[in-house]
Structure 1
């Protein structure tokens, strides 16, 4: 994972935490446990970083990351 992708993942963790009223630590643990970071956010960075954060938070919730 390069620096830009890592910054995106951190940004998304905080966006999810804000929308779901959880701490970033809780969100990170949930996303890591479900494989969302390594199997969804990182491999699809090129496409996902062009989307709005609200859309992505909803998308993560829908795919149950």
Structure 2
């Protein structure tokens, strides 16, 4: 059986590695690109929402034609 510490050493941590919360730190080595709650995360998600809204409007316009 592989030692959990060995697994963590071979993995690259995500952005949660700099958090103080024990709950968030336990997910610091998950292979998911987690983002802590910060201004950068909100800006990134807002851009995604705006892009989705634009794409949805274009698809609707094409469907109406």
| Superposition TM-score, scaled by structure 2 size | 0.29
- Structure number with the higher helix fraction is 1
Q: Larger Rg: 1 or 2?
A: 2
| Superposition TM-score, scaled by structure 1 size | 0.29
